[in-house]
Amino acid sequence: MVPDGDHAATNKASALVAMPAGVETPALPEQIRFLSRTYKELEVVLDPNTKCIWCYQRPKGPPSFTPNMVGELIGLRRAIQALTASHGPNGERLIRSYILASQIPGIYNLGGDLSFLANAIREHNREMIRSYAYDCVDVVYHIATGFDCGIVTVGLVQGDALGGGLEAALCCNFIVAERGVKMGVPEILFSMFPGMGAYSLLSRRIGSAIAERIIFSGRIYSAEEMYDLGVVDLVVESGSGEEAVRDYIGDGRKHGARQSIYRARQRTNPLTLAELRDITDMWVETAMGLTETDLRRMSHLQSAQNRRLRREAVVHAGSEAPSPLPERQR
């Protein structure tokens, strides 16, 4: 993990190693813009060997989708699309895969920013909630569809993924989870439902009946249980997730087949931004109807998340944190 003070420099330095020789001249200005971008709540690495972007979540505050981190994910998506478009139809492809992972020890992501949402609901600020929700499903949609660039997306779940955190993994084409990871959508516990893609994505993977069983139960499942249900594609030993992802994306010969399969998935059962927004509108209406008792439950859950974050920090204090760079770049 990179200290905050060195963050901008590290983003730039880790990305600059990715500038391969032979890139067409028209693409260079866009490539330079891409490499010069810095992020406060993401760590973004472009690996030239595998032509893969590793995007690590590192939200400031709760281990959730803060509004600022969601905004950075949208900015990264636009940068990926601009860089891809700059190559032209015959240009060398710099990005074939996108990995969404986390730098938070023991946590992938625990969902929506509950304090932000509870405050907005108490203030009856419907538009603030809708804007946040629309931004979230913008992220979900573009990861699910490979950024409209034929990019294969992979969710690397090395810590617990709950609520919107599970939705972030679900929107990826392929999900790798380590043993010991917990996953679920507990929103029903405070009279809500996961409204940023869970129903759409789960029902496409495992059918609406099992998707509803998961959502209504509010249960927390193990990675192994999610694999048995068909939610997770691969379960690996704790600590070996990155290696498993590198094995998956490392064989460039299979990329074309995988890309075509995921395009076929989208063609046979299309996921649309309109569908995600329509369900999000239902979610906003449900949120606006929450009682003070429900909002207190949200606050208690947020407090529990913060305590969990502090405990994880203590456990990992003094230990050597893993480098954000994939092994082949170290």
174 residue type, one letter? F
174-197, pLDDT tens digit by residue? 999 999 999 999 999 999 999 999
Count of beta carbons in the 10 Å neighbourhood of residue 250: 15
The per-residue pLDDT for 20 is 46
In 3D space, the residue among 152, 178, 155, 176 whose CA is nearest the CA of residue 165 turns out to be 155
Answer yes or no: are the C-beta atoms of 164 and 112 closer than 8 Å. yes
Least confident of 18-22, 151-155, 308-312: 18-22
Alpha-carbon distances, residue 74 vs 37, 58, 192, 208, 330 (angstroms): 13, 15, 25, 29, 28
pLDDT at 47 over 70: yes
66-89, pLDDT tens digit by residue? 999 999 999 999 999 999 988 766
What's the rounded mean pLDDT across residues 250-270?
91
Q: What is the architecture, at CATH level 2, of domain 8-329?
A: Alpha-Beta Complex (3.90)
DSSP assignment of 142-167 equals: HHHTGGGTT-EEEEEE-SEEETHHHH
pLDDT at 279 over 60: yes
Answer yes or no: are the C-beta atoms of 169 and 189 closer than 8 Å. no
Task: Determine the Cα–Cα distance for residues 132 and 104; give it in Å rounded to an integer.
Answer: 22
Please report the sign of the dihedral spanned by the C-alpha atoms of residue 3, residue 69, residue 95, residue 201.
Answer: positive
pTM of the full predicted structure? Answer: 0.86
In 3D space, the residue among 313, 132, 171, 327 whose CA is nearest the CA of residue 244 turns out to be 327
The per-residue pLDDT for 179 is 97
* 3-class DSSP state of 205: helix
Domain limits, the chain: 8-329
Of all residues in the chain, the percent with pLDDT exceeding 70 is 86
* 3-class DSSP state of 92: coil
At 5, give phi and psi (nearest 5°). Answer: -65, -25
Task: Determine the Cα–Cα distance for residues 10 and 300; give it in Å rounded to an integer.
Answer: 36
